[in-house]
Chains A and B, each alone.
Chain A
Amino acid sequence: MSNYIWLIPAAPLAGFLINGLFGKRFPKPVVSSIACGSVFFSLVAAVLALIELLGLDPEYRSIETLLFSWIPSGAFQVDIAFLLDPLSAVMMLVVSGVGFLIHVYSIGYMAHDKEFSRFFTYLNLFTGSMLILVLANNFLLLYVGWEAVGLCSYLLIGFWYKKQSASDAGKKAFIVNRIGDFGFAIGIFMIFWTFGSLNFSQVFESAASSFQIGSSVITAITLLLFVGATGKSAQIPLYVWLPDAMEGPTPVSALIHAATMVTAGVYMVARCNVLYTLAPTSLLVVALIGAATALFAATMGLAQNDIKRVLAYSTISQLGYMFLACGVAAFTAGIFHLMTHAFFKALLFLGAGSVIHAMSNEQDMRNMGGLRSKIKTTYLTMLVGTLAIAGIPGLSGFFSKDEILWKAFSSEHGGVVFWLIGVVTAGLTAFYMFRLLFLTFFGKPRYDKHKSEHLHESPRNMLFALASLAVLSAIGGWIGIPASMGGGNHFERFMEPVFASSAALASHGENHHSHVTEYLLMTISVLFVLLMIYFAYVAYIRRPQLATSLRERFAGIHKVVYNKYYVDEIYAAVIVRPLIVISMFLWKVIDVAIIDGIANGLAYMVQSFSGSTRVMQTGYLRNYALMFLGGAIVVLAFFMSMR
């Protein structure tokens, strides 16, 4: 059964091949049908796979299908094989589902771009690679997907490569990710070195059975893997590439830099839950980095004026949330938030894209305002997304965020500090998101006449994607309503088998808290969020001068926050510039003078030797026969000397 799993990543890859090879000659509708059709195919197959999975008993919900043996080299055995379990099922549905909607959206968004087919080619390659990443049953195949999505991210950020800032941003993303991937690769080497296998189930089983909690090897491995996650999922200290990545087309920001690729790190940590559970130190690091990133990025989001950059910092902050959840060993909550975040953040990005589209590529919120009545559908859907991310009860973001906050408080790995950071971040999130909403859709128009003439609602396929995601953002959380609120928490029960063995390892179990505590905490956080929304309302609608006067009053702080705490500048001074100096030395002295000298010298020697031996080829048969005879004598002499 489930023999068709390989088709899920294969379909978009086939689309990539077809469009990549022939896309330039196809008319746009053909290109877009191939691209969207292939992802839709994956979506259907993924849904079928989920139905099949649900038909099994929970403890059997882990199916590995071997496609073929990839590298059978002695002890090093790697297969192209896929693992279907609740975790990968959720991931593949998010990737193919959100991916499909974003593909549809892109038809409209990219309609006027000359390089329509190139865009869809990359987008399909991305989707296929991402599906490989989440469906892989071993670390190496995961790494293949991991690198391939990184490549697609680079290609798509720099899609408009003629723009200097876009190609710079692509390079920045790629280079920063290299640092993370370096750690990740070493982590994988260490896994093979320690366990002699890269297969998930083998590694996790032998880890659970033969290592103690707190083992230093496992701690090292998990920390290295987490270095990879900080790169891919834009966490401190490697988050700097993500805001710049907004140079790419907006659907790319939505798909890669919000909904799917950047969550790969969270997925990986959740996938390695057994390893992380064995390494409490690493869990603490994950939680600390996650919490710090969540708070830090949220503050940076407060002062941005570019609509997409606000969302970019918000994404970093929300990813921090997910890591916070993983760090307190609440992997289910992390994945749940990953899913709901994919819905509402994709929605917000696509909404922002629709605004940008309507405003003829204007991204500065200071030049917007009052768009509510002009682009009504976009406004309504973005409102849903904003309410969802702010955590208004009833919407998807509320359930997942509340789950994380509760786990941050109640888990044995958690604590009040984590909860507090979470609540503050939630409040800040509500503030900057409503700031975005108010600046964009409310108040007086601040754009010129020329723009207002062109102002138009987006085409229907874009609105279709927005509406679908709005529905998902609204109700997507209902599958995870916690028991304390009368829900069945289907999501947690569905995910349970994946985290069963790590739950067993953490033998102490959860600290028991009453529902009363839970309600109390929930009420506090919701009230705080509402308060922050009110602040935003006051500052940006009722008394717009308040925001200005506050900014002037705290000019120093504002400047620091507005400039993103000068982190880019610090990195440039501390890391990049010294690196350039060292590289120049390596290049000019070591490489050009010494290595090239040796290489060119060798090449010259080889070439001159080649020229001189060539002379032996006279063309005269007698010379050839003589050479033959000489060789024959030597060979015969050797054989005759055998005893």
Chain B
Amino acid sequence: MEFPQIDYVAILPEIIICGLALLIMLFAAFLPRDRRWITGHIAWFGIIVASFAVWMNWGTDTRTFAGMYSIDLFSSVLKLIFLLGSLLVVFMSENYIRLHKLEAGEYYALIIFSLFGMMMMASAADLVVFFVGLEIMSVALYVLAGFRRSDPKSNESSLKYFLLGAFATGFIVLGIAFVFGAVGTTSIAQMFDPQQYTLANSFFYLMVGGGLLLIGLAFKLASFPFHMWVPDVYEGAPTAVTAFMSSGPKAAAIAVLARVFVVAFGQHITQLSPMFWSLSVLTMFTGNLIAISQTNIKRMLAYSSIAHAGYMLIAFATGTAEAVNSVVFYLLTYTVMNLGAFMVLLVVEGKEDGDNEITSFTGLGRRHPFLGAAMTLFLISLAGIPPTAGFAGKFFLFKAAVAKGQIPLVVIAVINSLISVYYYLRVVVVMFMIDTQTEFRPVSYPAFLYVALVVAVLGTIVLGVFPTSFFPFDIPLLASGR
């Protein structure tokens, strides 16, 4: 057997991240409980190093592992988004796991494993690589969701996520099998080469495979009607983990959707457009409409994340490279503002378990103006009001859609944004306009969380005001080596 050529420099970020997770596991085993905080510092340091490694590969356009693994601008940008998100989550978690006595070494290791999975998904040029990445990401998340072992809600969250996740995985594996059966390859670039067709009705089976893949990915993305797990899982999972789940995996699913449906199914994207159109519209309405009646802020953010998945799907109903570029930018803005909102939530939540009612924000703006102002910024950004990142993200996405003539879809999306203003601003109203008679619950000021908060605030503003200065809007979709 002959081993394919492996470009170790190109996959250096993945090597670092994988090594980092193993190192943390190993390290934690030998650390006494009161010293395990060190693992957090190893984690963020390692993530920064890996980010530099990605930066080093900037502009590389190559395929390795016999063409199964693509290192290109698209994957590098996504990896940086994942790394940024994970970095912020690590910063957020430092205080959280101390308060909730979750100081097990695996915590950071699992986050980093999950990150590793996402990075693989971003680079996957082959369905098998994608599947392996997906599973690495998901299994780590299942465990993380149940990390508060003594809390039944956390257990419930983990179990629900795992069972439905396994269900979805089944669809994906079956989809890959159909594709392989139809064309004899799992390479994304070669799937649609008619010369590869092995059967008379290969096209039909290929389409079945595509449908199954879409179902599985739609589950990860939390698109209607595969979104039912989201509120329950988000609510039960430890808040820092919820933050992580709501940003990274979505982005990874988008990356694969882009590679599979815009690149491989590229010739048929116009035919597929109605499918994505319906998914997008239904998802937006489901997320936004149900979010209105939520009283728990974690559930509200869960529905908000469903709504955002709906906006992201606009890119696939549009199906142009411009739309995919804008959705990647959207992911970046979403990561920053969504994690920001979760950070404020973490501070407000403090040590209290499970009290995430919107009313717990009453008077925050008056007692802690910085937190109140930051939360307001994140919420108006999530609602898509200028000059915030959320506006820029929506703007470029909608612009791409309009350019392709998807005007009704954009009108629907704008109406949905309007609906979303209601529930986002309700939190602002509670924070600023209702005064509590009682003193606001004392909040601690953990340094790392605040660093992350400042990063998120700056990111939300800077991406909103100077979007084009920080993001390349001309990313090719798959390494030219196809």
Name A's B-contacting residues (CB within 8 A).
Answer: 68-69, 72-73, 603, 606-607, 609-611, 613-614, 616-617, 619, 621, 623-625, 627-628, 630-632, 635-636, 638-640, 642
A-B contact pairs, 12 of them (CB 8 A): A72-B468, A610-B290, A614-B293, A621-B163, A625-B167, A628-B167, A628-B168, A631-B226, A632-B226, A639-B211, A642-B268, A642-B272
B466 part of interface (Cβ distance < 8 Å): yes
B286 part of interface (Cβ distance < 8 Å): yes
Interchain CA distance A72-B466 in the complex, whole Å: 11
Given A72-B468, A631-B215, A631-B224, are A606 and B208 also a contact pair (CB < 8 Å)? no
B419 part of interface (Cβ distance < 8 Å): yes
B299 nearest in chain A by CB position: A617
Asked if B210 and A639 make an inter-chain contact with CB atoms under 8 angstroms apart, the answer reads yes
The B197-248 residues at the A interface (CB cut-off 8 A) are 204, 207-208, 210-212, 214-215, 218-219, 224-226, 228-229, 231-232
B279 nearest in chain A by CB position: A635
Asked if B225 and A627 make an inter-chain contact with CB atoms under 8 angstroms apart, the answer reads yes
Contacts of B225 in A (CB 8 A): 627-628, 630-631
CB distance from B475 to the nearest CB of A (A): 18
Main secondary structure of the interface of B (DSSP, over half): helix
Main secondary structure of the interface of A (DSSP, over half): helix
Interchain CA distance A619-B152 in the complex, whole Å: 14
Given A628-B167, A632-B171, A639-B207, are A606 and B469 also a contact pair (CB < 8 Å)? no
Interchain CA distance A47-B231 in the complex, whole Å: 62
Interchain CA distance A616-B164 in the complex, whole Å: 17
The contact string, 1 if C-beta is below 8 Å from chain A, for chain B 43-56, is 00000000000000
Given A617-B231, A640-B207, are A632 and B290 also a contact pair (CB < 8 Å)? no
Contacts of B399 in A (CB 8 A): 73
Asked if A635 and B422 make an inter-chain contact with CB atoms under 8 angstroms apart, the answer reads no
How many residue-residue contacts, CB under 8 A, span A and B? 85
Asked if B211 and A628 make an inter-chain contact with CB atoms under 8 angstroms apart, the answer reads no
Contacts of B207 in A (CB 8 A): 639-640, 642
B22 part of interface (Cβ distance < 8 Å): no
Given A68-B466, A628-B226, are A636 and B289 also a contact pair (CB < 8 Å)? no
Given A625-B164, A625-B167, A632-B171, are A642 and B271 also a contact pair (CB < 8 Å)? yes
CB distance from B353 to the nearest CB of A (A): 19
The B240-291 residues at the A interface (CB cut-off 8 A) are 268, 271-272, 274-275, 286, 289-291
B229 nearest in chain A by CB position: A624
B160 part of interface (Cβ distance < 8 Å): yes
The B441-482 residues at the A interface (CB cut-off 8 A) are 466, 468-469
Contacts of B226 in A (CB 8 A): 627-628, 631-632
Asked if A638 and B211 make an inter-chain contact with CB atoms under 8 angstroms apart, the answer reads yes
B292 part of interface (Cβ distance < 8 Å): yes
Contacts of A613 in B (CB 8 A): 286, 289-290
New A-B contacts (14) at CB < 8 Å, excluding given A627-B226, A628-B164, A639-B210: A68-B466, A69-B468, A610-B289, A611-B293, A621-B160, A623-B228, A625-B164, A631-B225, A632-B226, A635-B218, A639-B214, A640-B204, A640-B207, A640-B208
B210 nearest in chain A by CB position: A639
Interchain CA distance A606-B285 in the complex, whole Å: 10
Asked if B290 and A627 make an inter-chain contact with CB atoms under 8 angstroms apart, the answer reads no
Contacts of A606 in B (CB 8 A): 289, 292, 419
Interface residue from B214, B271, B290 paired with A614 (Cβ < 8 Å): B290
Name B's A-contacting residues (CB within 8 A).
Answer: 160, 163-164, 167-168, 171, 204, 207-208, 210-212, 214-215, 218-219, 224-226, 228-229, 231-232, 268, 271-272, 274-275, 286, 289-293, 399, 419, 422, 466, 468-469
CB distance from B122 to the nearest CB of A (A): 24
Asked if B164 and A624 make an inter-chain contact with CB atoms under 8 angstroms apart, the answer reads yes
Contacts of A636 in B (CB 8 A): 208, 211-212, 215
Interchain CA distance A623-B229 in the complex, whole Å: 10
Interchain CA distance A613-B211 in the complex, whole Å: 27
Interchain CA distance A577-B152 in the complex, whole Å: 67
Contacts of A617 in B (CB 8 A): 228, 231-232, 290
Interchain CA distance A629-B193 in the complex, whole Å: 31
Interchain CA distance A69-B219 in the complex, whole Å: 40
Q: Sort A-B residue pairs by CB-CB distance and give the 8 closest, nearest first.
A: A639-B211, A631-B225, A624-B228, A610-B293, A610-B292, A639-B207, A636-B211, A610-B289
Given A606-B292, A639-B208, A642-B268, are A632 and B215 also a contact pair (CB < 8 Å)? yes
Contacts of B229 in A (CB 8 A): 624
CB distance from B354 to the nearest CB of A (A): 16
Contacts of B167 in A (CB 8 A): 625, 628
A74 nearest in chain B by CB position: B399
Interchain CA distance A630-B211 in the complex, whole Å: 13
Asked if A628 and B219 make an inter-chain contact with CB atoms under 8 angstroms apart, the answer reads yes
B164, B208, B290 — which one has the most chain A CB atoms within 10 A of its CB?
B290
Interchain CA distance A617-B289 in the complex, whole Å: 13
Asked if A640 and B211 make an inter-chain contact with CB atoms under 8 angstroms apart, the answer reads yes
B275 nearest in chain A by CB position: A638
Contacts of B289 in A (CB 8 A): 606, 609-610, 613
Contacts of B208 in A (CB 8 A): 636, 639-640
Interchain CA distance A69-B214 in the complex, whole Å: 39
Interchain CA distance A623-B160 in the complex, whole Å: 12
CB distance from B417 to the nearest CB of A (A): 14
Interchain CA distance A68-B212 in the complex, whole Å: 46
Given A68-B466, A606-B289, A617-B290, are A635 and B215 also a contact pair (CB < 8 Å)? yes
Interchain CA distance A635-B216 in the complex, whole Å: 11
Contacts of B210 in A (CB 8 A): 639
Interchain CA distance A624-B226 in the complex, whole Å: 8
CB distance from B83 to the nearest CB of A (A): 26
A613, A614, A639 — which one has the most chain B CB atoms within 10 A of its CB?
A639
B223 nearest in chain A by CB position: A631
Contacts of A635 in B (CB 8 A): 211, 214-215, 218, 275
Interchain CA distance A625-B219 in the complex, whole Å: 11
Interchain CA distance A639-B271 in the complex, whole Å: 10
